[in-house]
Amino acid sequence: MMTEFKQLFPLQVGRVHEACGPGAVAFAAMVCGQVDARVLWLQVGWQTEQLNPMGLVQFMSPKNLVVAQAENHTDLLACTEDGLRSGAANLVVAEVTQTLDLTAGRRLQLAAEQGGSTGILVIPEGAGSNATQTRWHCSPIFRGNHKSEENLTLQHWQLIKNKTGTLNNWKVCWDAKAHRVIVVSEDGE
């Protein structure tokens, strides 16, 4: 039996999930938007790509967002762990730039369980750790010329790791009115 989108999304609370691919940041933004909660967003300070609150607004209110810039990879992971453990932020998003080993992944997983918050790690492709609950590969896709609606969020989400079930992939987009992710089509249809 194929895994249903509903079973996995919104993401399981108290676990750490991973997202990679060119649409990974959008994935994190959509998850935050659907939950509509306090978000701690961690980055490494030297990163030139910054989050734009004016673009984020269609997913979630930047009011609920706290952005932290760590100096290096170790600090970033330590801050992520602290954030997950305290439970003060319902979602902790960390933009990881290096490969995660199993120890780091497991520590984050334990911290998330303890604090009851959800972690999303935006990772470079192939840099995830085995301790993650789910891993998603996200890439934007062109909506086609015939569609006239102003939805610029069509994405292809591939579930490439799942601890509790089989893999699958979907085409999804963000519905700004309903404020949630909707499945446009199961892939293969």
Partner 1 sequence: MPRRIVSLWFPRMASDRILRSHPISAPFAVTSYEKSTERLYCLNSKAIRLGLAPGMGLSDAKALCPDLLTRAADHYADDRFLKLLARWADRYCPWVGFDGHDGLLLDVTGSTHFFSSEADLLGDIHERLRSYQLNVRSGLAGSIGGAWAVSHFSKGVVPNGQLKAALSQLPAAALRLDETTCATLQRLGLRTIGDLLATPRATLGRRFGLPLMRRLDQALGEQAEQINAVAPDVSYAARLNFPDPIGLYDDVAAALERLLQRICEKLKTQEMGTRVLLMTCQRVDRASVQVELRLARPMRDAATILPLFERSVREVDAGFGIDQIRLEALSVEALPVKQLDVGGAQAKQNDALSDLITRLGSRIGLDRIKRFQVADSHIPERSFIVSPAAYCEAEGEWEVQNGRPLRLFSPEPIDGREKSPPTAFRWRRIRFSVAKATGPERICPEWWLDDPDWRSGVRDYWRVETKQGRRLWMFFTPQNPAWFVQGEFA
Find residue 161's DSSP bridge partners: 135
Amino acid at 162: N
Which residue is it, tokens 């319902």?
90
- Based on the shown chain and the rule CB under 8 A, indicate whether residue 105 belongs to the binding site for partner 1: no
- Based on the shown chain and the rule CB under 8 A, indicate whether residue 67 belongs to the binding site for partner 1: yes
137, 21 contact by CB (below 8 A): yes
Smallest distance, Å, CB 165 to partner 1? Answer: 27
Of 7-15, 38-46, 99-107, 118-126, which segment contacts partner 1 by CB under 8 A?
38-46
What residues have CB less than 8 Å from 29, skipping those under 6 apart?
Answer: 56, 59, 60
The three-state secondary structure class of 73 is: helix
- Based on the shown chain and the rule CB under 8 A, indicate whether residue 179 belongs to the binding site for partner 1: no
Q: How many CA atoms lie within 13 A of 26 on its CB side?
A: 20
Of 8-16, 99-107, 152-160, 164-172, which segment contacts partner 1 by CB under 8 A?
152-160
Smallest distance, Å, CB 130 to partner 1? Answer: 27
- Based on the shown chain and the rule CB under 8 A, indicate whether residue 55 belongs to the binding site for partner 1: yes
Smallest distance, Å, CB 60 to partner 1? Answer: 10
- Choice from 1, 49, 166, 178 touching partner 1 (CB under 8 A): 49
13, 35 contact by CB (below 8 A): no
Of 98-106, 121-129, 143-151, 161-169, which segment contacts partner 1 by CB under 8 A?
143-151
Which residue is it, tokens 């978000």?
39
What is the rounded distance in angstroms from the CA atom of residue 41 to the CA atom of residue 32? Answer: 10
Site residues, partner 1 (CB under 8 A): 22-23, 25-26, 29-30, 38, 40, 45, 48-59, 61-71, 75, 78-79, 82-83, 86-89, 139-143, 145, 150, 152-153, 155-156, 174, 176
